Amino acid sequence: MYQETVLENGLTVVTHRMPSASSSSVGLWIRAGGRFETKDNNGVSHFLEHLLFKGTKKRSYRQIKESIEGIGGSLNGFTAEELTCYLAKVIGKHLPLALDVLSDMVLNPLLKEEDVEKERMVIVEEIKMYEDLPASYVHALFGELLWPDQPLGFMIAGRQEVIATMGRDEILNYKNRLYNPSNLVVAVAGKLEHQKVVEEVKKAFGALPRRQRNRFSKVQEKQSKPRIKLKSKDTEQTHLCLGGKALPRDHPDKYALGILNVILGGNMSSRLFNEVREKRGLAYEIRSSIARFQDTGALVISAGVDNRKVAETIKIILRELKKFKEREVSKKEFQQGKEFVIGQLLLSLEDTTNYMHWLGENKLCLGRVPSVEEVLDGIKKVTARDLHRIANGLFTNENLNLALIGPVTVNSTAYSCKKEEEIEKILQF
């Protein structure tokens, strides 16, 4: 079980003691991310995350890194759609130091003008790198398809033209507005004592005043037919994402969707891996994955395939989706999928960092941390009929989207179907 304490200013501390662990993992989870941005400041959350590693009033950027890495630990941060996280993993006895370093970064960053200018160039190069990796960039195109002209469909790193003009004051104002106790969860797992963690957190953040928790606008979803987004690029493979909107983070059918995803393309025993790679050799990698947000979600199938086999691959994927609609999965397949979900959960929670993620993300995004027993009970209650029902609700022409990067028409390496109209003909159930 985990322990929880809410400070007077609204900051939440959640911990899970793992007596046999040597390490402690700590994360500062902040309700600030891509969904809190606009077109005019797209990328500010990620820009700010970079800058917080550049130095504080008492530590240089080298001292920040060496404080953790110099004791054998690791330090990192990441920005997502609904949150930003700063995290460290250290030997248990160094937990107070890790908390001090992370809180110092969040509370006392210098945000020097010269650092803003340097990091601006770094982020622009990061965006270019991302755009040069079609296996990654196709996911950004897919997001734009699902949620056009909405923050949820923006790239987390931002757009080059926005990053190029974003100023220090804009970044600082964003931080001052969102980085407050009501938007902050401190999550720790591993070798620890809850009350000592609370005291350390109180020492760092206790003086901050209570502020209002920030909100983002609910997503708008309107689609009446299949949608396609093509980007022409001279690549050796065509990279695609095919799928649609799925279930919100805390939907009653979330466990059933997880099992469906495993059977569809979640591991090497999955239907898509077997049909597309093993039987036909059309792709080195093909998989399905789920994205979960507060008010929506997505199920996406991604693959890199032979430029001449795109139409064939799409047809096979759609055929496999159709099978879920037509009949229930077999008893053996269903049981294996369920056991995989359970096994992966239990194995992941043996690691202090994974458990810290479990605590922080659930508390920040759901407002509660479900017990492992609650989750296992929910998984065990899922039936094959549930998967059949969900498939019929999600796998429809009105929820079909295809993002694709490759040589749309390049002589001998052209697609089997050379025009978007021809792809549209096969993109339907």
Active site residues per annotation: 49
Beta-strand relationship, 237-245 and 401-406: antiparallel
Q: What is the DSSP letter of 186?
A: E
Q: Do residues 78 and 30 lie in contact, with contact meaning Cβ atoms separated by under 8 Å? A: no
Q: What is the DSSP string of 227-284?
A: EEEEEE---SEEEEEEEEE---TT-TTHHHHHHHHIIIIISTTSHHIIIIIITT--EE
What is the end-to-end Cα distance of the chain in Å, rounded?
45
Q: What is the DSSP string of 335-382?
A: HHHHHHHHHHHHHHTTSHHHHHHHHHHHHHHHSS---HHHHHHHHHT-
Rg for the chain (alpha carbons), in Å? 23
Cα 228 from Cα 217, distance rounded (Å): 25
Three-point CA angle 365, 369, 375, nearest 5°:
110
Residue 120, H or E segment: helix 113-131
Name the β-bridge partners of 5: 13
Cα 141 from Cα 147, distance rounded (Å): 10
